[in-house]
Amino acid sequence: MSAARLVRNACRASVVVAAVLLAACASRPGRDGAPARPPGDLSSTPDAVPRVEPLRRGGPNKPYEVLGKRYVPMDADLPFSENGLASWYGTAFHGKSTSSGEPYDMYAMTAAHKTLPIPSYALVRNPANGREIVVRVNDRGPFVAGRVIDLSYTAALRLGLLAGVAPVEVRRLTHDEIRAGLWRRGAPPPESVPAPEPALAAATPDAADPLMTLVAGVEARQPARDAAPPAARAAGADAAPGFWLQLGAFRQAEGAATLRRQVLDAAGDLAVAVFDDVVAYRVQVGPYTTRAEAQRAAERLRSQLLIVPLLVERRP
């Protein structure tokens, strides 16, 4: 082969390689940031309106791997809450496809989360200023250590987070909470309901489920529930002292019954109880003799069910 032909082939190969690299660079998002001319009324953008949407296995909820780390999204309607750093994404992704297949709209009240079911609705609170919003989770991310949620541009604006990364509190809204309207302003979140000493309303997993009797008797209760003495509201023996892990709290007995069954289906060796303390029906696991034992069980629940339990101590 002549020297001239070798040179021509080398030049042609170089052009092909350059074209491939240029195409790869063009497919990546450019520098992210805020829009140059955003609409002037974004601060009054309403929250996402939660509605019960079906969850499915697979698709955006199937396990995946990013940067060598494996993630297993939730695919069941279970409570979830966490604290961590929030970031936001804007112009570089506007109009591009999200993990749900929907186009990303930086002017909508949406968010990305690594493991929440898609779709989901979540309450996000900025503890620095007390602002709270409702977003619809339809994307995956952020894949940066310490960050728990990636907000749309408008969601970050509403929370006062456009200046950068900041701590937030995230809580997923379950279908029962959505049906009950607990996401609306002024409605107490399940974790904030006070907890007087309750009565045991459910048995251990391998026993008959007495909760259905409790559910059937809800309509027969007195209209003013707190007018009845505590003894009249007991559905079993007093709660045993020790450490308990609260998985959720509901205004309706049906919601507590649903969560209890879901937990038993996923981890049937747990002793899951439902307590009716007049204010709420509380789903709890226990009791555990020591705080350390309860914390180990909490870690197991986090890994098995992706639930972040609330540790409760009951004293004799």
Q: How many whole angstroms separate alpha carbon 89 and alpha carbon 246?
A: 34
Contact 168, 85 (CB under 8 A): yes
Q: Is the pLDDT of residue 140 over 90?
A: yes
CB 128 within 8 A of CB 166: yes
Tell me whether the omega of the peptide bond preceding residue 287 falls within 30 degrees of 0, making it cis: yes
Tokens matching residue 248: 């959720």
Does the domain at 42-180 match CATH 2.40.40.10? Answer given as yes
DSSP structure class, residue 115: S
User: Is the pLDDT confidence value at 20 over 50?
Assistant: no
Q: How far apart are CA 91 and CA 36, in angstroms?
A: 9
Give the residue among 250, 130, 137, 248 at the shortest CA–CA distance from 187: 250
pLDDT at 272: 85
Give the pLDDT confidence score for residue 29 in this predicted structure: 52
pTM, two decimal places: 0.53
Query: What mean pLDDT do residues 70-90 have?
Result: 92
Please check whether the two domains, 42-180 and 192-314, share a CATH topology: no
- Higher model confidence: residue 160 or residue 191? 160
Cβ 183 vs Cβ 50: under 8 Å: yes
Q: For residue 94, give the amino acid letter.
A: H
Determine which of 20-24, 51-55, 141-145, 265-269 has the lowest per-residue pLDDT on average: 20-24
* Closest to 87 (Cα-Cα) out of 19, 11, 162, 145: 162
**Mean pLDDT for the chain?**
75
Domain locations in the chain?
42-180, 192-314
Coil, strand, or helix at residue 213?
helix
176 against 29, higher pLDDT: 176
* Token pair belonging to 266: 């996923």
pLDDT at 2 over 90: no
Residue 306 near residue 247, CB atoms below 8 Å: no
**DSSP label at residue 222:** -
- 253 and 218 Cβ atoms separated by less than 8 Å: yes
At 259, the pLDDT band (50, 70, 90 cuts) reads confident
C-alpha count within 13 angstroms, C-beta hemisphere, residue 30: 7
94-109 pLDDT, tens digit each: 999 999 999 999 999 9
Q: Evaluate if residue 137 carries a pLDDT over 70.
A: yes
The CATH code belonging to domain 192-314 is 3.30.70.1070
Higher-scoring residue by pLDDT: 271, 50: 50
pLDDT at res. 82: 93
Q: How high is the pLDDT of residue 187?
A: 52
Residue scoring higher pLDDT (5 or 285): 285
Closest CA relative to residue 79, chosen from 248, 252, 192: 248
pLDDT tens digit sequence for 195-214: 333 333 333 333 334 433 43
Q: What is the pLDDT of residue 153?
A: 96
